[in-house]
């Protein structure tokens, strides 16, 4: 049996997350074999399908190109997956807002459980996933014939891709005849920011209560601009009214695991650590050398942030 991956795309581009999910699928494949197919569903998604076809390890790209899939609404996408799922032992998607929205519908309609947000593959039916906001890691085994899985992209290194002239996977169209009378798209407002989205950024720089004010977050922005980093905040900074809640990194905010996380003026409350402790490298800048954040930081710099940040910006 084969593995099907629901591709993740935005604005006519295949997103990086898909390459991470393929990596997870390849780990599954190690124990059961079979092919890895990628499903690209959307409207005018030819270029996306071609990009998916170039991902290492992908055998076939199936393309459902129709207006009904244009905005990745859960109802038609779920039905499409149900129509295709019988050919597969595993269906995977990124644990993105799209994957999380759609995959449980497939699982319910096929009467199987879903395994959410896996961070490890032990075998074709056994996976690791975080529970309790990452404070425990559960190893779960599925006895269902079909495994429906969302994958935390940051937990798997992305597969590479071949260049345009090298060989790539077959691309074929899917005719499923799905319609959708239940829901309709009204509009979408994406953040007009040059910075990457917090949950997907490779580098995140966050400020805490030590920033002193919302105005002072400009110091972080200057560094973030140099690094192409997203900007986050601790709950204390949000509570103090410095920045809006959607910037919050922590147990109740966004959970991030970038390559590099820079915590500035953040003491390191447990709730905050829960949101960033899976980052690959953590840097802490704090004037209090006893701040708990230093206990998780790979590189700690005891310094007044108002001096350190301008200097850092200049030296980068």
Partner 1 sequence: MIDYHAPLRDMQFILDELAGLPDVAALPACEEASPDLVAAILEEAGKFATGVLAPTNRQGDLEGCRLEGERVIVPEGWQAAYDQFCESGWLGLSLPEEFGGQGLPKLVSTPVWEMWFSSNMAFTMLPQLNVGQAEALLIAASEDQKPTWLEKIVSGEWAATMNLTEPQAGSDLAATRMRAEPDPGGDYRLFGQKIYISYGEHELTPNIVHLVLARLPDAPEGVKGLSLFLVPKYRLEADGTPGEKNDVRCISIEHKMGIHGSPTCTLSFGDNDGAVGQLVGEPHQGLKTMFIMMNEARFGVGVQGLALGERAYQAALEHARERVQGRNVVSGETGLPILHHPDVKRMLVGMRARLLAMRTFLYTAAGWFDLARHHPDAEVADRHRRYVDLLMPVAKGWCTEIGNDLCDEAIQVFGGMGFVEETGVAQLFRDARIITIYEGTTGIQANDLLGRKILRENGETLRELIDDIRACARSVGKDDRLTELATSLDEMLDTLAATADWLLAQGKERTAALYGGAVPLLHLLGTVCGGWQLARAAQAAQRQLDADEGDADYLAGIIDLARFYMASVAPEAASHARAVRDGGNVLAQFPETRL
Partner 2 sequence: MKVLVAVKRVIDYNVKIRVKPDHSDVDLTNVKMAMNPFCEIAVEEAVRLKEKGVATEVVAVTVGPKAAQEQLRTALALGADRAIHVQTDEAVESLAAAKLLAKVVEEEQPGLTILGKQAIDSDNNQVGQMLAALTGRPQGTFASAVEVDGGADDKSLKVTREIDGGLQTVALQLPAIVTTDLRLNEPRYAKLPDIMKAKKKPLDTKTPDELGVSVASGLKRIRVEPPAERQGGVKVGSVDELVDKLKNEAKVL
Site for partner 1 in 216-255 (CB under 8 A): 236, 239
Spatial CB neighbours of 54, under 8 Å, sequence gap ≥ 6: 161, 162, 163, 164, 166, 168, 169
Place of tokens 């204390």: 236
Query: Does residue 164 have a known ligand-binding role?
Result: no
Cα-Cα-Cα-Cα torsion 39, 42, 45, 49, nearest 10 degrees, comes to -10
Query: Does residue 286 have a known ligand-binding role?
Result: yes
Instruction: Tell me: does residue 307 bind partner 1 (CB under 8 A).
Output: no
Instruction: Tell me: does residue 175 bind partner 2 (CB under 8 A).
Output: no
Options 66-74, 91-99, 243-251, 289-297: segment touching partner 1 (CB under 8 A): 289-297
How many Å apart are CA 249 and CA 259, to the nearest integer?
15
How many Å apart are CA 238 and CA 296, to the nearest integer?
22
13 binds, among partner 1, partner 2, none (CB under 5 to 8 A by kind): none
Q: How far is the CB of 262 from partner 2 (least distance, A)?
A: 9
Q: Which of residues 281-310 bind partner 2 (CB under 8 A)?
A: 281-283, 289, 294-303, 308
Query: Does residue 139 have a known ligand-binding role?
Result: no
CB neighbours (10 Å) of residue 125?
18
Phi and psi dihedrals of 199, rounded to 5?
-70, -20
Instruction: Tell me: does residue 16 bind partner 2 (CB under 8 A).
Output: no
Q: How far is the CB of 283 from partner 2 (least distance, A)?
A: 7
Instruction: Tell me: does residue 90 bind partner 2 (CB under 8 A).
Output: no
Q: How far is the CB of 144 from partner 2 (least distance, A)?
A: 4
For partner 2, the closer CB: 60 or 71: 71
Instruction: Find the radius of gyration of the CA atoms of the chain.
Output: 21
Options 4-12, 145-153, 258-266, 288-296: segment touching partner 1 (CB under 8 A): 288-296
Q: How far is the CB of 107 from partner 2 (least distance, A)?
A: 7
Q: Name residue 94's beta-bridge partners.
A: 151
239 binds, among partner 2, partner 1, none (CB under 5 to 8 A by kind): partner 1
Q: Using the rule CB under 8 A, which residue among 166, 184, 290, 315 binds partner 1?
A: 290
DSSP letter for each residue of 203-221 = EEEEE-GGG-SSTTHHHHH
2 binds, among partner 1, partner 2, none (CB under 5 to 8 A by kind): none
Binding-site size, partner 1 (CB under 8 A): 5
Instruction: Tell me: does residue 67 bind partner 2 (CB under 8 A).
Output: no
Q: Write out the two tokens for 220.
A: 């972080």
- What DSSP character marks residue 294? G
Distance from chain centroid for Cα 234: 20
How many Å apart are CA 99 and CA 90, to the nearest integer?
14
Nearest to 154 by CA among 135, 130, 132: 130
Binding site for FAD: residue ranges?
Answer: 209, 234-235, 248-252, 265-272, 286
* Residues of the shown chain interacting with partner 1 in the complex, contacts defined by CB under 8 A: 236, 239, 290, 292, 295
* Known binding positions: 209, 234-235, 248-252, 265-272, 286
């Amino acid at each position: 049996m084969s593995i099907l991956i629901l591709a993740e795309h935005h604005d006519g581009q295949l997103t990086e997350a898909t390459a991470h999910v393929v990596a997870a699928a390849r780990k599954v494949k190690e124990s059961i074999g079979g092919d890895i197919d990628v499903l690209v569903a959307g409207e005018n998604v030819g270029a996306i399908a071609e990009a998916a076809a170039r991902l290492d390890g992908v055998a076939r790209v199936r393309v459902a190109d129709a207006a009904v899939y244009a905005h990745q609404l859960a109802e038609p996408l779920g039905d499409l997956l149900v129509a295709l799922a019988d050919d597969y032992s595993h269906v995977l998607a990124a644990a993105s807002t799209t994957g999380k929205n759609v995959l449980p519908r497939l699982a319910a309609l096929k009467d199987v459980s879903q395994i959410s947000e896996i961070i490890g593959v032990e075998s074709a039916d056994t996976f690791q996933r975080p529970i309790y906001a990452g404070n425990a890691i559960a190893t779960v085994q599925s006895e269902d014939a079909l495994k429906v899985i969302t994958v935390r992209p940051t937990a798997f290194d992305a597969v590479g891709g071949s260049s345009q002239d090298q060989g790539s996977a077959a691309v074929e169209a899917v005719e499923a005849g799905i319609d959708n009378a239940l829901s309709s798209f009204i509009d979408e407002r994406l953040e007009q920011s040059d910075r990457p989205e917090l949950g997907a950024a490779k580098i995140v720089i966050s400020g805490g209560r030590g920033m002193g004010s919302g105005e002072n977050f400009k110091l972080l922005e200057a560094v973030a601009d140099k690094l192409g980093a997203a900007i986050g905040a601790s709950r204390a900074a949000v509570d103090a009214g410095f920045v809006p809640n959607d910037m919050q990194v922590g147990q109740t905010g966004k959970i991030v695991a970038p390559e590099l996380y820079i915590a500035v003026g953040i003491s390191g409350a447990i709730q905050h650590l829960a949101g960033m402790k899976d980052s690959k490298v953590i840097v802490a800048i704090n004037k209090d050398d006893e701040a708990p954040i230093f206990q998780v930081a790979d590189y700690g710099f005891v310094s007044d942030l108002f001096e350190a940040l301008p200097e850092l910006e200049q030296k980068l």
